[in-house]
Amino acid sequence: MAGEDPLISGMAGRYAGALFELALADKAVDAVRADLETFDAMVAGSPDLTRLVRSPVFGADEQLKALSAILDKAGIKGLAGNFLRVIAANRRLFAVRDMIRGYRALVARHKGEVSAQVTVAEKLSDKNLDALKGALKGITGGKDIDLNVNVDPAIIGGLIVKVGSRMVDSSLRTKLNAIKFAMKEAR
């Protein structure tokens, strides 16, 4: 199943597919998704945790011990907690964010949702988030939208929206770079 979809192929896709099948059998798809989202946000928000996850310097035992303490403190238990411990023991923790992305895609497909990646310069208000979901829902033919919003101040302003294979970059950074390039060409 995971090997057939290019978005979730490779090693990360196989792990995501296996986790999805287990979660589906346990009727815990949403619970696992919530726990993985929590862990993904923790990794994104902590340079130290990112280092633990990505660095080959740490051995499997060190990663597993540190990860277990982090998971216990965060309250991530059950299938998601066991999954994260298994990938740490198997020295695959470096790919955990790709596995989470693959799991998200499998859940979205299962629920008939469309996944959208949105990058903004600053956190969106609930009103703007709802307006964005509404606009994306209109573009996707009324399908529910699974919105993954990343905040990146480097884009200065505007949005970068990716839905499936389509991407729209209306960030101020891209527009300024285009003007800079045009000015160089005009010389």
What pLDDT is stored for residue 8 in this prediction? Answer: 64
Task: Count CB-CB contacts under 10 A for residue 40.
Answer: 18
Find where tokens 């287990």 sit: 22
CB 103 within 8 A of CB 36: yes
| Measured distance CA(44)–CA(164) in Å, rounded | 22
Q: Which residue ranges make up each domain of the chain? A: 2-108, 113-186
CB 106 within 8 A of CB 20: yes
Band of the pLDDT at 53, cuts 50, 70, 90?
A: very high
pTM of the model: 0.71
What pLDDT is stored for residue 96 in this prediction? Answer: 95
CATH of span 2-108: 1.10.520.20
Q: Does domain 113-186 have CATH number 2.60.40?
A: no
Look over the chain and give the mean of its residue pLDDT values, rounded to a whole number: 90
Q: What beta strand segments (E) does 7-138 contain?
A: 114-120
2-108 with 113-186: one CATH topology? no
Model pLDDT for residues 12-52, shown as the tens digit of each residue: 999 999 999 999 999 999 999 999 999 999 998 899 999 99
